[in-house]
């Protein structure tokens, strides 16, 4: 009986030693995992939300295993986190590149459209007498629209400068749609199609004598 107790005690001691020997590296792995996750957290949440969820789930599972004393599982799970963090960083970088290209395209076209609309408004404002398809109310509405569009584009540009790529693109696309509609609204009404010219009747041939 005493021998059995000694064996059991020895086995428990061995298990305790093994657990202690695994705890330190598990803690180190968790610390490294936490660092790698924090490095990508901000961009991951914005530009790679789904991948970030998976990364967070992996880290949480490692932390839970550690809290339960399963240091081996905790270490294995935690060691996989840095690689997943790199995947998140790559996905976020790709999305940021896509959004930057989209913004650059907007920035290349929208200011010109705004200037085109402004030129039309300025030309109409300078007229002593408005065209028959334009009245003062329409012109005032166009001026108000120009002011709103100019302000909105400035906000979109500020968002891009601040690094808010998603917001910048959303605002920029909204401005593009607004200015396109505004330009179309100032276009003169289509002139009615001209009636076809009547066909001249053939001249009668003189009667033969």
**Contact in structure between 176 and 110 (CB atoms under 8 Å):** yes
| Angle separating helix axes 81-125 and 49-67, nearest 10 degrees | 150
**Residue 48 burial (10 A CB sphere; 0-12, 13-18, 19+):** buried
Higher pLDDT, 22 or 206: 22
- Global confidence as pTM: 0.74
pLDDT in tens, 77-99: 999 999 999 999 999 999 999 99
Task: Using pLDDT thresholds of 50, 70 and 90, give the confidence band for residue 205.
Answer: low
């Amino acid at each position: 009986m005493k021998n059995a107790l000694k064996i059991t005690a020895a086995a428990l001691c061995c298990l305790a030693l093994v657990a202690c020997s695994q705890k330190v590296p598990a803690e180190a792995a968790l610390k490294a995992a936490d660092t790698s996750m924090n490095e990508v957290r901000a961009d991951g949440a914005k530009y790679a939300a789904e991948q970030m969820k998976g990364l967070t789930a992996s880290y949480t599972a490692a932390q839970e295993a550690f809290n339960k004393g399963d240091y081996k599982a905790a270490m294995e799970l935690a060691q996989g986190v840095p690689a997943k963090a790199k995947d998140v960083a790559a996905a976020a970088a790709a999305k940021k590149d896509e959004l930057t290209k989209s913004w650059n395209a907007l920035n290349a076209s929208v200011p010109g459209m705004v200037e085109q609309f402004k030129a039309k408004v300025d030309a109409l404002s300078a007229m002593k007498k408005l065209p028959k398809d334009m009245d003062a109310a329409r012109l005032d509405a166009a001026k108000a629209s120009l002011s709103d569009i100019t302000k909105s584009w400035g906000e979109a540009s500020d968002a891009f400068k601040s690094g808010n790529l998603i917001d910048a693109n959303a605002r920029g696309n909204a401005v593009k749609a607004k200015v396109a509609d505004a330009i179309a609204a100032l276009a003169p009404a289509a002139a009615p199609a001209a009636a076809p010219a009547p066909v001249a009747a053939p001249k009668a041939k003189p009667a033969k004598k």
